[in-house]
Chain A
C-alpha cells in the first residue's frame, strides 16, 4: 500500500517533471509589426577609391528603411565598425538590439574596376546568412548598392527586392517668365539618377510602363490636344498612337504587352477601349453614358478595373477584358478613383476620399476591406512597386506636389525629395 503510493507518487512526479521539462508549451499569438532592426556598417575602403563619392552602406540603409520593413541603426550608435567577419562581435550588436548585421568592403582592381564584398549576419544566431562579391564600375556603384539591397531584402523577407527598379513621373516647372515646362523623368526607385525622357511646354500626363520595362507610354498635349505616345527608353524613339477627337488618355499595358487599354471619347462619353498592339485595332469595352476612365489590367490579364461615375459618384468597376457587364467593386466612400492592381492581384490601390481628404487606400478584393495608407489632403496617382511592398504616390507638401512612398501595410511613409518643381503621377517600373 505504502509502496504503491510511493510508486504512484514517484511515477506521477517523474512523469510530471518529465512532462514539464519536455512540454511546457507557450503559445504566441501576438507580435509586433515593426520594422526589422538592421545595422549596416559603413563599407570599408582600404584604398582611396578616386572619383567615387558613393556611400554604399548608406544607399542600402536608405533602401531598406524606405521599404518600411527595416529600421537601420544609426552609425553614431554603433560600438564598432567591423568590415571583416573576424572583427564582428555579435554581443555588441545584440546589445544594440540588432537582428541583422551587414558589413562590407570595396576594393579597387588593377583594371580600375571595383569589387564590392558584403556579408549579412544573423546577430542572435551568430552566423552568416549571406555573402557576395559584386563587380562594379565607378559609375555603377549606386546600382551595385541597390543590388545588394535587393539581395538582403529578399534574404530577410522572402520577397524580391525592388530597389533596382525605376520610376517614371511627371514634373512641371514654371519659369519666371510664366512659361510652363513639363517633363517625364525616369529615376532610380530612390529618386536618384533622374533622367528626362521627354520635355514639353504643354502638359504631359499618365506615364505607363510596358510590361518589360523597356517602353513608356504617356499622354502629351504637345499637338494641342491629347495624344498617346509610346517611347522606347533605350533609344528615345517614340511612336504616336492613332488619336481620336476628344479624349485620348490613360494608357495601360496588358500584362503580356499585346494590348493597351485606354480612354477614348470618340463615341461621345469617355469609355474604355482596348488597343491591339499587333493588329493596331481598337475595341470598345464599355458602353455607358457616364465617364469610364483610368483602366488597369489584372495581373492575369482577364479583367480590367476602371473608374466610372455611372452610379453618380466615381467608383471602381470591373469588367472582363473580353467585354461584358461591368460590376462595381468599391462601395465605401463617395469617391474612389485611379485604381491599380497589386502585383499579386489580391488588392487594388486607389484614391479614396474620406472627409473631404483624398487619400491613398488599398482595397482587399476578396473581403472588400479598405485600408487607408496615406495622410495627405490631396494624395494622387498611387502605383505599386513590382514586389507589392510599397506604393508611390504624389502628395501636396507646402503647396507643392511631391512624391511619397508608403509601405503597402501603411506603416512607413516617406517623402521623396527630388530636384525640380512639382512632381506628379509616379509610375513604378516592372522588374527588369
Chain B
C-alpha cells in the first residue's frame, strides 16, 4: 500500500481526499437531521411575573401537561433516537460494507488504475520512445532532408553558380564576342569608311581626272568644232562688226546637226541666216569617239562674234 502510494502519490492523495470528503458527508448529514436536540440540553425558561390564581392554576396545569408532554416527547425522542441510532448503525455497517466494497473497488480501481497507469506509462514510454524515435526519425529525416536540401541547395547553388558561371561566362564571352564583333565591325566600318573615303577620294580623283580628261576632250573637240564651223561660216558681206548671234545646236551621236535655233538674234536676218547655215553646213561636227562624251556635246551654243 505504501509502495503503491509512493509509487502513485498523486493517485493516493486523490484517493485520500475523496475518502475524507465521503467521511465528512457522513458526519455532517447527521447533525443536519436533528437541529438543536440531543447535543444541546433544553434551557428552562424563567418567568417572574404572576398574573392571577386561575392563570397560575391553568398555568400550573399547563405546566404539569407540558411536563408530561415533555416526558413523552422525551421518551419518544429517545426512542426515535434509539431507532435512529440503530438505523444509523445499520446504515453505518452497510456503509462500512459499502465502504469496504468501495475500498475494494477503489483498490481494484487503483490497481486497475496503476496497471492502466503503468500501461499508460509504458505506453507513454513507448509513445515517448516512439515519439522520440519519431522525432529522432523526424530529426534524422529532417536532418536528412536538410542535408539533402543542403546538398540539393548546394547542388542547386552549385548548379546555379555553375549556370551563373556559365551564364556569366557566356555573357562574358558574348560580351567579349560582341565587343570583338563590335570592334571588328567598328574596324570593318572604319576600314569600310576608310575604303569608302579612299574610294570616294579615288573616285573624286578619278572623277577629277575623268573630268579633266573630259574637259580636255571637250576643249580640244570644241576647238575642232569651232574650226569646222568657222570654215563653213560664209560671213555676210558688208559691215558686220558689232553684230553677234547665238544659236543653239542639237546634235545626235555621230555629230549630225538635227536642229539649229537662234536663241539670241543679231537683229540682222542675213547675219543670223549665215550663222544658222554655218552650223548646219558644218554637220556632222567632229565628236570624241567615246560615246560617253556625247553628253557634253548634245547641245551646243555657238556665239558668233565676228572679229572676236
The answer to whether B204 and A20 have CB atoms under 8 Å apart is no
- For residue A124, CB closer than 8 A to chain B, the reply is yes
The answer to whether B234 and A34 have CB atoms under 8 Å apart is yes
The answer to whether A33 and B297 have CB atoms under 8 Å apart is no
Tell me whether A28 and B296 are in contact in the complex, defined as CB-CB below 8 angstroms, given that A13-B207, A124-B280, A159-B238 are known contacts.
Answer: no
B258 to nearest A CB, angstroms? 12
Q: A159 CA to B193 CA in the complex, in Å?
A: 70
Tell me whether A9 and B280 are in contact in the complex, defined as CB-CB below 8 angstroms, given that A33-B234, A99-B234, A157-B270 are known contacts.
Answer: no
The answer to whether A20 and B278 have CB atoms under 8 Å apart is no
The answer to whether B237 and A157 have CB atoms under 8 Å apart is yes
The answer to whether B207 and A28 have CB atoms under 8 Å apart is no
- Option from A2, A20, A31, A34 in Cβ contact (under 8 Å) with B230: A31
Give per-residue flags for A104-133: 1 if the beta carbon is below 8 A from chain B beta carbons, else 0: 000000000000000000101100000000
- The total of chain B residues at the interface (CB under 8 A) is 47
- For residue A5, CB closer than 8 A to chain B, the reply is yes
User: Which B residues are in CB contact (< 8 Å) with A16?
Assistant: 211
A102 to nearest B CB, angstroms? 16
Total contacts A to B, CB within 8 angstroms? Answer: 111
User: Which B residues are in CB contact (< 8 Å) with A48?
Assistant: none
The answer to whether B270 and A26 have CB atoms under 8 Å apart is no
The answer to whether A20 and B303 have CB atoms under 8 Å apart is no
Find residues 44-99 in chain A having any chain B CB closer than 8 Å to their own CB. 68-69, 97, 99
- For residue B269, CB closer than 8 A to chain A, the reply is yes
The answer to whether A33 and B235 have CB atoms under 8 Å apart is yes
Q: A24 CA to B298 CA in the complex, in Å?
A: 9
The answer to whether B237 and A32 have CB atoms under 8 Å apart is no
Q: A159 CA to B303 CA in the complex, in Å?
A: 24
User: Which A residues are in CB contact (< 8 Å) with B302?
Assistant: 25-28
B186 to nearest A CB, angstroms? 15
Give per-residue flags for B245-278: 1 if the beta carbon is below 8 A from chain A beta carbons, else 0: 0000000000000000000000011100111111
- For residue A309, CB closer than 8 A to chain B, the reply is no
Q: A36 CA to B274 CA in the complex, in Å?
A: 9
Q: Which residue of chain B is the closest to A13 with respect to CB atoms?
A: B207
Q: Which residue of chain B is the closest to A12 with respect to CB atoms?
A: B207
Q: Which residue of chain B is the closest to A28 with respect to CB atoms?
A: B304
The answer to whether A32 and B234 have CB atoms under 8 Å apart is yes
B19 to nearest A CB, angstroms? 117
The answer to whether A99 and B301 have CB atoms under 8 Å apart is no
Tell me whether A28 and B204 are in contact in the complex, defined as CB-CB below 8 angstroms, given that A21-B298, A158-B269 are known contacts.
Answer: no
A211 to nearest B CB, angstroms? 24
The answer to whether A32 and B235 have CB atoms under 8 Å apart is yes
The answer to whether B269 and A20 have CB atoms under 8 Å apart is no
Q: Which residue of chain B is the closest to A17 with respect to CB atoms?
A: B295
- Option from A23, A27, A32 in Cβ contact (under 8 Å) with B231: A32
Q: A13 CA to B208 CA in the complex, in Å?
A: 11
Give per-residue flags for B276-308: 1 if the beta carbon is below 8 A from chain A beta carbons, else 0: 111011010000000000011111111111111
The answer to whether A27 and B303 have CB atoms under 8 Å apart is yes
- Option from A6, A29, A97, A158 in Cβ contact (under 8 Å) with B236: A158
- Option from B203, B218, B226, B308 in Cβ contact (under 8 Å) with A20: B218
- Option from A24, A68, A97, A156 in Cβ contact (under 8 Å) with B300: A24
User: Which A residues are in CB contact (< 8 Å) with B297?
Assistant: 24
- For residue A202, CB closer than 8 A to chain B, the reply is no
Q: Which residue of chain A is the closest to B299 with respect to CB atoms?
A: A21
- For residue B196, CB closer than 8 A to chain A, the reply is yes
- Option from A28, A97, A158 in Cβ contact (under 8 Å) with B268: A158
- For residue A398, CB closer than 8 A to chain B, the reply is no
Tell me whether A156 and B303 are in contact in the complex, defined as CB-CB below 8 angstroms, given that A26-B229, A34-B234, A99-B281 are known contacts.
Answer: no
- For residue B222, CB closer than 8 A to chain A, the reply is yes
- For residue B200, CB closer than 8 A to chain A, the reply is yes
- For residue A389, CB closer than 8 A to chain B, the reply is yes
Q: A36 CA to B235 CA in the complex, in Å?
A: 9
- For residue A409, CB closer than 8 A to chain B, the reply is yes
Q: Which residue of chain B is the closest to A389 with respect to CB atoms?
A: B237
The answer to whether B238 and A22 have CB atoms under 8 Å apart is no
The answer to whether B303 and A25 have CB atoms under 8 Å apart is yes
The answer to whether B299 and A22 have CB atoms under 8 Å apart is yes
User: Which A residues are in CB contact (< 8 Å) with B273?
Assistant: 122, 156
User: Which A residues are in CB contact (< 8 Å) with B207?
Assistant: 9, 13
Q: A2-B197, A28-B275, A122-B273 are in contact. List 19 more A-B contacts (CB 8 A).
A: A9-B203, A20-B295, A20-B296, A21-B298, A24-B222, A24-B296, A25-B302, A25-B303, A26-B229, A26-B300, A28-B230, A28-B304, A31-B230, A31-B274, A31-B278, A31-B306, A36-B234, A159-B237, A409-B237
11 pairs of residues in contact across A and B, judged by CB atoms under 8 Å: A2-B193, A24-B301, A25-B301, A26-B303, A27-B305, A28-B226, A28-B302, A28-B303, A29-B307, A32-B235, A157-B237
A residues apposed to B, CB below 8 Å: 2, 5-6, 9, 13, 16-17, 20-36, 68-69, 97, 99, 122, 124-125, 156-159, 389, 407, 409
Q: Identify the 10 closest CB pairs spanning chains A and B, nearest first.
A: A31-B233, A124-B280, A31-B235, A29-B308, A158-B270, A30-B230, A28-B304, A25-B301, A20-B296, A27-B303
